[in-house]
Structure 1
């Protein structure tokens, strides 16, 4: 399919937007009127600039408040249209978007609207131009695609067709399945926009909170599937109004935009190719025929499959010599043993249970460069997967950059990609088992001296990232399209100095979990840490155990310091949750926090942070608890703000 994007979706001047769009390998653009009007150049110059970048202008928009108007206003609108047509011909664009009327003068008369649009289409036809009619979600008389299609059908003009926009349909909870019955040749253009589910005025929602497919909560794949089943063969476009995107460097947003379309196409292709896709259709035979026609007619993107992630193999930290030594001592107090030294680099392995933590202090390395920017921090997450090269192939197909580090003799090659924050995601072959990689790359210690005994930690439960606000949607899309993680609900948490938004993502078997945290304010701990870390930082790492009280006791004996929790928290907890008094006494004594869901319980505790940044969380999940103890985050953040003891 041809992939296009509206210029309103990006920040910058018109030339800057066009360069970013071309760099992301789009085929064309929707030229938003304000971008042209405010550009200090002629239509001919814009036309040449677009062509020089290998793009086309597929749509000019918008033309407002036209149909269903009293005669005097209608005649004036025809004059307006003729001036638009002059400009379109100078720009070499053959279609204009006419959105449904929002004027209080609009007359509720579909026949009148159809007659006026017929006249507009006739004038456009004399210049070989086309009119696309779109139902705005806040249109005064026409706000549903079915109403717009009824008017287009009544008008019955070959140069008048329908423009569909997923936001306008899905924001009103309108059923898109009827789209499949519209003749495909009468759908002139398709705009895709996702969004978070919000309870607010639809106009404000539309103008400030749209997002790219895969970043929001609409069923974008089903919407696109219905349009393709109708027989649509035109461009697949993005029209996104988003305040954060307007403030973010447009090259990164353009890459997100292209990644979102590739991901969406791959989802729809998978749905159309799956035999079970027919099961939910009212007429399976008809659907099967439509599906086959789509697959024959449209070349939907087909990247390598999503990786079958089987958990985290290791977490790698960037350090220098001094911080590596100090951090190593902290890990030993947490019960990790110094398990070995890398064969060719200044890299040390620490192990406990199934957890592998690597501390990299190698000069002139990727890790050292990250340390110099971020201080002691995570520089790589390594995931286990059956086919690392296929996983990297999927990532690069979804516009991630491959990274191959230096490999010494007899060492394992571990392919990696660069994440949106600049850290690495490495892919370790499951065939290596729990020790194959470390036996190849490290000189393992048989009987390490001076190490603390284990503290009962078993696995990496989740990794939490602190993000700049403009990174949240990027990470959600990256996690879904590249790693195959799916997001949970979005939560707002109270920090003493503002709000923190938090969202968890996980794979199906929960062997890999990420938690994304952002703060729109500047004074929260998350915001300050992110600012110090350059936009993306690994907020904390949660490690799982089977008996949190025993684990915490061992760690305290080793000298580990935890974030103290207010006595008031435990008094209040008893009023909210039905707890055994002895258990509450143990939690109070240990400083352990508690959460309960219908599926199970969650015990957790936080260590002091390192240099006011990275810290660890010790967790114990009981039964099928699937959250992250978010209800307790305010207690932790308030305590951190008051200082630890």
Structure 2
């Protein structure tokens, strides 16, 4: 498809926006009028700049408060439109967006609106231009696409068509199924936007909280499917009003934007194949979503001194050193199915990227059925491939760079549980150590993100890794709010938790990596008996975050917990959550260098969350310490 984006969706000057859009691989732009008004150049010069960058100017917008107006105002609006037509011809923009009227002067008369739009289209036709009519969700008399389509039909002019915007339809919970019955050649332009589900005025929602497809909660795939079933073959464009995007570096936003369209096309392509429908456009067809089955390893970057400190900590957690890398200063620790790698190699990517920020998680190893296909999908979805240097007889594990700079390695499932480590490490005694505490596997990894990285990570995990986001929660830190959202695969064998701070004073904000986000700030490890495991960890020297007695007094009033269990939790400092599907018992270690800490967790039954309601107890205790 021809892929486009509205200039209002990015930060920067108009020239900078065009360069970012072109670099991300777009074919064209929607020119938002305010961007041109403040541009130091003529319309013709803008057209040449866009052309030199390989971009077409697909749409000029908006023409506001036009249809259904009293005669005097209508005549003035026609003159206003003529001046816009002059600019469009000079820059090479073929279509104007006319949005439905919001003026208190407008008249609720569809026949008058149709007649006035017919006159506008007639003037556009004299210049071989087109006009697209769009229903704004807050339009005074026309707010549904069906109403706009009836007016366009009544106007009956070949140079007048419909412009569809997913936000205006889905925010009102209007059914997009009727779009499929509209002739495709009368849909002049398609704008896509996602959004989180919010209870607020639709105008404020639209102007501040739109997001790229795949970042929000709307069924944008279903909407796009209906447009294609109508026979639409025009541009696929993004129009995003978002306060955070207006602050974010525009090249990163442009990459996210392109990834969102590729994800939208690929998901819609699958729907159109069931049942089969004649596609008049070519939709993006990437390698399939990778089959991921959990985390194989977590790798830390550390200098020599930090590596020694970390070694002491993981030994207290019951891990045993079982191997040394064949060619690098890299050490492997194991307990149960958990593999922790400490990378102290001075010239490695990990050290270069992360050593200035203390001990940090620099890479995650994910077990994967087809690693090469996984990397192929990732690069097709605009992620960067990473190739680490390997020594003789060592395995090359395909990897990509995640947002913020972390690496994600795709470890071949065919290697089995230990095949990678047998190849790359000189292994020592692999038996259980005397300090083994019963930790079994990695339950989840939590990342602290900069505020402008949350949507990026939601889209990345969805489009590249095939994970699905859960509910978005807001948690109370003593110094602000933390927004938290889990993402996981269908089997729940791979779980990540994405956290952003809405304040600069919270612990999450203070411990964020200055690399721009994506810093792992806590690692949750599972066990089968949390009381036994916690006792062994304490005996090993592990220190846990103390929990107030008031927490347990309150817990007994909220949840029907057996007194004996409540007493054990109070004595051990274990926190508790319950859902209809099961229970969650967990405890947090004290933080070490860089603010990183561990969580020990036991899931009972089919509990599927992360104990988020207990996070304030942990954060308050950490603040008091």
Q: TM-score, normalised by structure 2?
A: 0.99
Q: How big is each residue's C-alpha offset from its partner over 1:234-282, in whole Å with a ceiling of 9 and x where there is no partner?
A: 00000000000000000000000000000000000111123xxx4xxxx
Give the alignment partner of residue 476 of structure 1, picking from 458, 468, 485.
458
Query: Does residue 589 of the first structure (1) align with residue 571 of the second (2)?
Result: yes
Correspondences of 1:328-339 after superposition (within 5 Å):
328-339=311-322
Q: Deviations over 1:149-177 (max 9, x none)?
A: 00000000000000000000000000000
Task: Please state how far the C-alpha of 1:371 moved relative to its aligned partner.
Answer: 2.9
Query: What displacement does 1:448 show?
Result: 8.1
Counterpart of 1:439 in 2: which secondary structure? Answer: helix
- Structure 2 CA distance for aligned equivalents of residues 131 and 371 of structure 1: 52
Determine the structure 1 residue equivalent to 2:404: 421
C-alpha distance in 2, partners of 1:528/1:435?
37
Q: Structure 1 residue 104 and structure 2 residue 104: aligned?
A: yes
Q: Does 1:408 align with 2:391?
A: yes
- Structure 1 residue 115: Cα displacement: 0.3
- Work out whether 1:3 is the aligned partner of 2:3: yes
Matches within 5 A, 1:477-496: 477-496=459-478
Q: Residue 461 of structure 1 corresponds to which residue in structure 2?
A: 443
Matches within 5 A, 1:501-540: 501-530=483-512, 532=514, 534-540=516-522
1:82-101 superposed matches below 5 A: 82-101=82-101
**Matched-pair contact (CA < 8 Å) for 2:405–2:515:** no
2:548 to 561, 566, 572: 566
Task: Give the C-alpha shift of residue 534 in structure 1.
Answer: 4.2
**DSSP-derived class of the 2:591 partner:** coil
| 1:314 and 2:297 aligned | yes
How far the C-alpha of 1:370 sits from its partner, in A, is 2.6
- 1:606–1:618: 8 Å Cα contact kept in structure 2? yes
Kindly report structure 1 stretches of 4+ aligned residues shifted beyond 4 Å. 531-534
What are structure 1's unaligned runs of at least 5 residues? 279-287
Shift of 1:536: 3.0
Separation in 2, partners of 1:258, 1:76: 39
Counterpart residue number, 1:605: 587
- How do 1:165-314 residues align onto structure 2 when only pairs under 5 Å count? 165-274=165-274, 278=275, 288=276, 291=277, 293-294=278-279, 297-314=280-297
Displacement of 1:372 in angstroms is: 2.3
Q: What's the CA shift for 1:562? A: 0.4
In the other structure, the counterpart of 1:351 is 334
Q: Is the 8 A contact 1:333 1:452 kept in 2?
A: no
| SS, match of residue 511 in structure 2 | helix
* 8 A contact 1:336–1:452 mirrored in 2: no
Contact 1:338–1:448 (CA<8 Å) still a contact in 2?
Answer: no
SS of the residue corresponding to residue 339 of structure 1 reads: strand
- Partner residue in 2 for 1:341: 324
Q: Residue in 2 aligned with 1:150?
A: 150
Deviations 1:499-551 (A, max 9, x none): 00000000000000000000121001111111556433111000000000000
Aligned position for 2:532:
550
Alpha-carbon distance in structure 1 between the residues aligned to 2:142 and 2:102: 9
Contact 1:463 1:540 in 2 (8 A): yes
2:464 match: secondary structure: helix
1:62-102: CA deviations, max 9, x gaps?
Answer: 00000000111111111111111111111111100000000
Mapping of 1:352-371 within 5 angstroms? 352-371=335-354
- Structure 1 pair 533–497 and aligned structure 2 pair: CA distance change class (3 A): farther
Aligned-pair distance for 1:446? 2.1
Aligned residues of 2:130 and 2:159 also touching (Cα < 8 A): yes
Residue of structure 1 equivalent to 2:20: 20
Question: Deviation at 1:453?
Answer: 2.2
**8 A contact 1:452–1:558 mirrored in 2:** no
Query: Does the CA contact (< 8 Å) of 1:503 and 1:515 recur in 2?
Result: yes
CA contact (8 A) 1:455 1:554 kept: yes
Partner SS state of residue 461, structure 1 = strand
CA RMSD in angstroms, aligned pairs only: 1.0
Deviation at 1:358, TM superposition (A): 0.5
- How many angstroms apart in 1 are the aligned matches of 2:500 and 2:309? 29
Matching of residue 384 in structure 1 with residue 367 in structure 2: yes
Aligned: 1:116 with 2:98: no
Alpha-carbon displacement from aligned partner over 1:177-196 (angstroms, at most 9, x marks no partner): 00000000000000000000
Alignment gaps of 5+ in structure 2: none
Partner secondary structure for residue 440 of structure 2: strand
- Residue 374 of structure 1 and its aligned partner are, at CA, apart by 2.3
- Where 2:390 maps in the other structure, the secondary structure is coil
Distance 2:191 2:354 in 1: 42
Shift of the alpha carbon at 1:612?
A: 4.9
How big is each residue's C-alpha offset from its partner over 1:320-377, in whole Å with a ceiling of 9 and x where there is no partner?
A: 1111111011101101110110111100000011111100000111111133232201
Verify the 8 A CA contact 2:359 2:594 in the aligned structure 1.
no
Question: Measured at CA, do residues 532 and 21 of structure 1 come closer, stay the same or move farther in structure 2, by a change above 3 Å?
Answer: closer
- Give 1:447 shift: 6.5
Q: Could you tell me the TM-score, scaled by structure 1's length?
A: 0.96
Corresponding residue of 1:438: 421
Q: Deviations over 1:199-223 (max 9, x none)?
A: 0000000000000000000001000
Classify 1:171/1:74 alpha carbon distance in 2 versus 1 (closer, same or farther; 3 Å).
Answer: same
Deviations 1:605-626 (Å, cap 9, x if unpaired)? 0000112511000000000000
User: Alignment partner for residue 399 of structure 1, among 368, 378, 382?
Assistant: 382
8 Å Cα contact 1:373/1:534 also seen in 2: no
Aligned equivalents of 1:533, 1:603: Cα separation in 2? 33
User: How far apart in 2 are the matches of 1:223 and 1:447?
Assistant: 54
